[in-house]
Amino acid sequence: MQRQRFRFKLSIIIIFFVCLVVLISLMITDLLISNSVSKNIRKTQEEKALIVARTVSKSNIVIHALEDNQAARAVQDYTNEIQSATDVLFIVIMDMNGIRLTHPNEEMIGKSFVGGDEKAALKGKEYVSVSRGTLGQSVRAFTPIYNDKNKQIGAAAVGISLSSLETALETSHKNILIVTIFGLLIGIIGAIILAKYIKKILLGLEPFAISRILEERSTMLQSVHEGIIAVDHTSTITLVNKSALQIFKKAGLSQKPIGMKIYDYMPSTRLDQVLKTGQPELDEEQTINGVSILVNRVPLFVNGAVVGAISTFRDKTEVNQLAEQLTGVRTYAEALRAQSHEFLNRLHVISGMVQLKSYNQLAAFIRTLVDFRNQEFGSITQHLKDPALAGFIMGKISYSREAKVDLSIECTSIIPEPAENKTTHELITILGNLLDNAIEAMTDSEDKTLEVHLSYEDNWLLIEVSDSGPGIANELQKEVFKKGYSTKGENRGFGLYLVKKSIEALGGELIIDSKLRLGTNFYVKIPYKAKEVGK
């Protein structure tokens, strides 16, 4: 059974961690401040006790009382007054034997000082200590008392209750705690605002949803058969899928293009131009170190601004192979359809002759038909050594006969099989589109004559296609080769464009000679390397 994964919302995660960070920070701050404040308060109280003890030790009333026991009552009143003014726990004056001359509790006067921490003071030392006396635990400041002859005659002890010190510390800690709670509330509010802002930036998606979508998109991009390469607005490559890397490897390019400038990695690209113009470029041919690809380049817009561009492409060899297969199937289907229609007409003639019992004429008809077919197709197979091209021409003959067009094929020399399959594919494209355009152009013509002349000489193939159609006006003879240009409606105008592209791909030449109402002649000259015998 699959273990359930617990996923928390982004807002909860942010609030939790922000609050945790704020809480830990405030706790550490509280600890540090509390210790600092505690030390400062304790030090302040100790300094206060010492100041009071020093002040009392310098008083003439105190010195006189220690030298004359008759003045003890005056010193008690004095210390009570000082004690009340300074808000200390006690002020005790003792002689050199540790006997109290003063005490907040008059019953303790005349008795020994309690605590045991006064001995060093009676030996002339000034210090602060903590001890328990008759009034409880207290911080005590001891100061020796000297007479005019600089002889120690006693000591003064000033005490501050530890309970009052703790009260001051608690008050300080409460203030710090209030500030901590207030800071925590501010942190929670800030975390909620931050979470909402981040959620808005992420289009309302949670992190786990973003992760899942990213994984899915990455898998889809990598599994696409077409090559994909994307750049940002600075022409830096940000994405390349596996298919693109395979094509780049075939072209001898580096396998780590991400982070490079597109024009440094692939100088023949036009993605940087697409970024500048913002206009897509579709079904363009591009060559990368001798590898031909068919490319679509599209700018990427966000809020009306170009933020990047993406190019999808495919090895033209694969496209040519697919086109050859499709062309072969289409040609085969057209030939079968035309021949079946033609054969059905012949069957009607034969059926009529049988019913009329014209057996002699029937025999002559069949003999003439067989001889014509053998002569027609035999001439083609005898001169055209490329089976694919010969089969294509035969299919076009049947198709033209069905369209009531008189098509004649004349080969003035033997046309050998080409050295490369690419040449066959381009020839089929050239002849197919020229013948189809001519047949369609003669739809409304009374004279429907179409002539094709083929000749091969010195590694050059010459093709002439002449029709008796309506012709092409001079001003349109250049326009007809533009992609999508047609006077026959939408989604047309690709035939002559493909003818021109195929001739350019083979490095050939094209000349058009056309006059209105006098027909059109196309002259094609292409380099044609024959296949070596035995290969």
Task: Give the H/E segment covering residue 509.
Answer: strand 509-515
Residues 263 and 377 placed together within one structural domain of the fold:
no
CA distance 19 to 188: 6
CA distance 366 to 362: 6
Residues 394 and 523 placed together within one structural domain of the fold:
yes
Residue 340, classed as helix, strand or coil, is: helix
Which amino acid, one-letter code, is at 37? V
Using a pLDDT cut of 70, give the percent of the chain over it.
Answer: 83
Lowest model confidence (mean pLDDT) among 122-126, 205-209, 444-448, 451-455: 205-209
Q: How many residues does the chain have?
A: 535
Residue ending a domain, choose from 256, 282, 314:
314
Residues 33 and 155 placed together within one structural domain of the fold:
yes
Joined together, the tokens standing for residue 519 give: 């027909």
Residues 380 and 516 placed together within one structural domain of the fold:
yes
CA distance 209 to 199: 12
Q: Which one is predicted more confidently, 411 or 333?
A: 411
Mean pLDDT of all residues in 260-280: 85
Give, as one character, the DSSP assignment of residue 399.
Answer: H
- Residue 175 maps to a domain: no
Report yes or no: 339 and 333 within 8 Å, Cβ to Cβ: no
Give residue 91's domain range: 13-168
Return the pLDDT at 475. Answer: 82
Return the pLDDT at 329. Answer: 47
Return the pLDDT at 3. Answer: 44
Mean pLDDT of all residues in 140-165: 86
- Residue 349 maps to a domain: no
Mean pLDDT of all residues in 39-43: 79
Return the pLDDT at 467. Answer: 92
Residues 26 and 139 placed together within one structural domain of the fold:
yes
- Residue 449 maps to a domain: yes
Res. 151: pLDDT tops 70: yes
Return the pLDDT at 143. Answer: 92
Residues 254 and 131 placed together within one structural domain of the fold:
no
Q: Sorting pLDDT into bands at 50, 70 and 90, what band is 43?
A: confident
Return the pLDDT at 334. Answer: 56
- Residue 82 maps to a domain: yes
Pick from 418, 436, 413: nearest CA to 496: 436
Give the CA count within 13 Å in the CB-facing half-sphere of 129: 16
CA separation, residue 39 to residues 33, 36, 177, 198, 291 (Å): 10, 5, 18, 44, 81
Residues 31 and 152 placed together within one structural domain of the fold:
yes
Res. 364: pLDDT tops 80: no
Joined together, the tokens standing for residue 471 give: 């012709």
Residues 87 and 236 placed together within one structural domain of the fold:
no
Q: Sorting pLDDT into bands at 50, 70 and 90, what band is 249?
A: confident
CATH classification at residue 93: 3.30.450.20
What are φ and ψ of residue 465, in 5° steps? Answer: -120, 120
Residue 151, classed as helix, strand or coil, is: coil
What are 464-512's pLDDT values in tens digits? 999 998 888 888 888 888 876 666 655 456 778 888 888 888 899 999 9
All residues at 6 or more sequence positions from 233 whose CB lies less than 8 Å from its CB, including other chains: 275, 306, 307, 308
Q: Which one is predicted more confidently, 449 or 42?
A: 449
Mean pLDDT of all residues in 283-306: 82
Joined together, the tokens standing for residue 293 give: 């690809």
CATH classification at residue 455: 3.30.565.10
Mean pLDDT of all residues in 329-336: 52
Residues 141 and 228 placed together within one structural domain of the fold:
no
- Residue 208 maps to a domain: no
Residues 30 and 92 placed together within one structural domain of the fold:
yes
Return the pLDDT at 281. Answer: 86
Mean pLDDT of all residues in 511-523: 88
Structural domains in the chain (count): 3
Return the pLDDT at 4. Answer: 45
Residue 438, classed as helix, strand or coil, is: helix
Residues 122 and 27 placed together within one structural domain of the fold:
yes
Res. 278: pLDDT tops 50: yes
Residues 27 and 118 placed together within one structural domain of the fold:
yes
Mean pLDDT of all residues in 263-277: 84
What are 189-209's pLDDT values in tens digits? 877 888 788 777 777 777 677
Q: Which one is predicted more confidently, 293 or 529?
A: 529
Return the pLDDT at 320. Answer: 60
Which amino acid, one-letter code, is at 188? I
Res. 405: pLDDT tops 60: yes
Mean pLDDT of all residues in 413-442: 86
Report yes or no: 293 and 285 within 8 Å, Cβ to Cβ: yes
Q: Sorting pLDDT into bands at 50, 70 and 90, what band is 20?
A: confident
- Residue 404 maps to a domain: yes
Mean pLDDT of all residues in 28-50: 78
Q: Sorting pLDDT into bands at 50, 70 and 90, what band is 330?
A: low
Mean pLDDT of all residues in 265-284: 84
Residue ending a domain, choose from 122, 147, 168:
168
Residue 369, classed as helix, strand or coil, is: helix
Q: Which residue has the tokens 């505690």?
A: 38
Lowest model confidence (mean pLDDT) among 256-260, 412-416, 464-468, 487-491: 487-491
Return the pLDDT at 219. Answer: 73
Sign of CA dihedral 233, 235, 239, 240: positive
Return the pLDDT at 155. Answer: 92
CA separation, residue 191 to residues 194, 204, 277, 333 (Å): 5, 16, 43, 70
Beta strands in 170-247 (DSSP E): 227-232, 237-240
Q: Which one is predicted more confidently, 5 or 363?
A: 363
Res. 368: pLDDT tops 70: no
Which amino acid, one-letter code, is at 482? K
Mean pLDDT of all residues in 56-85: 82
What are φ and ψ of residue 315, in 5° steps? Answer: -60, 125
- Residue 278 maps to a domain: yes
Residue ending a domain, choose from 168, 197, 213:
168
Return the pLDDT at 522. Answer: 92
CA distance 143 to 122: 9
- Residue 267 maps to a domain: yes
